[in-house]
Chain A
């Protein structure tokens, strides 16, 4: 199994800073903006972004965690149902600018599910999507990210693996793996 390192810990940190600065540039004081991370890895990324914006601009942005399990379109197409995670959105989405965050954008189906799941909490004024890794030429749906950490060309037999320090790994790493 060949592994190519896409982003190591140091470069990932720089990427998170850049993404945070782009958000500050577009959202200013974040008065009507909220961050929603998609469970599970998207939440870890969202927490890093929130923390970095706090360091850079001294702004405390509301953060929500969204589980998309019950909104996926592949239920009953798997051997067994996926185990859901917690959804915690302790604020009103109605009328807000939502920054949806996930670690990898691949087919776009997860994001479609996330937008469907999010609508249960109200009608946002605007939704933007931020991803750490955009797997180009892999989309099944017309979905694109506004903020991209890194774009990679990959084929279907490859996988992107994101390892976060918070998950018990010695350091952050993102790998492209040939299966």
Chain B
């Protein structure tokens, strides 16, 4: 049984929780590869996907996971909602809950928004990303994909490359990987490395070549232009020259590195196409695993209502 009623962040989970989610996801991975990819577990549950920020992959993945579990699903996006008319977050969610919704999957631009909600409402809450804070299901599927590819996460060396400063994926990944016994390094321009990141017990490397020589897995992040109010590097072209992962760079390193990316990829910026589409890139596996992981999370959280 999970130690928590909500999935607000990886920080709140125990190592046992992570293993339970992975083991449950193993079974759901088998389910989503059956001729009929649906089980009736959540048939009496209604889930609201409440997205106050744009999302393609995460929202589709959650929606598919919910439908594979036979849940009733309603979708809400702030762009076409009464939030534009001045309604508060709590009022919006309470109105949705009045329609007898059991679970809320929420993405919000404000860090801590799902934590705030969890103190005021009774439904299970799943954080689908809160600003630059956490994105727990992405970290779960990333670690799960490493486990699937390399057999285990413990003892592996993982470098997270790129825009660490604005990345909720990076923070959740650091928590998940460390709980599972991996060594974590971050690599990127100094301006995109948070000042106190070493306090989390991660290594910092500014040279991409040295970082790649050190690691078993490179999780390459997208440059998040939408979150940057000031220029943290001169140009995308320069960033790509110094921190882009390309085939020439990987060929110059005498070992095979597993390449990951949470998507969407800016091809030619953080990854070149020949790297993104290579056999050692598990980017599409991450997407497939995302559905199984989210099914596991929803199933385990829903089961706690009993």
A interface residues, Cβ below 8 angstroms from B: 67, 69-71, 75-81, 83-87, 116-117, 119-122
Contact = CB atoms under 8 A, between A and B. Distances in A.
**Size class of the contact patch on chain B:** 20 to 34
Interface string B278-306: 00000000000000000000011011111
Nearest to B304: A80
A77 B306 contact: yes
Given A121-B34, A121-B35, A122-B35, A76 B27 contact: no
Contact of A87 (B23, B24, B27): B27
Contacts, number: 63
Interface in B1-56: 1, 20, 23-24, 27, 30-31, 34-42, 44-45
A125 to B, nearest CB: 16
A84 B296 CA distance: 11
A86 B41 contact: no
Given A75-B303, A76-B302, A76-B303, A84 B38 contact: no
A80 B4 CA distance: 12
Contacts of A122: 35
Contacts of B299: 70, 81
Nearest to A94: B35
Given A70-B41, A71-B39, A75-B41, A84 B306 contact: no
B109 to A, nearest CB: 33
Contacts of B306: 75-81
A81 B1 CA distance: 7
Contact of B40 (A70, A79, A87): A70
B40 A71 contact: yes
Contacts of A71: 39-41
A119 B31 CA distance: 12
12 contacts: A70-B27, A70-B299, A71-B41, A76-B45, A79-B1, A80-B304, A83-B20, A84-B24, A85-B27, A87-B31, A116-B40, A120-B31
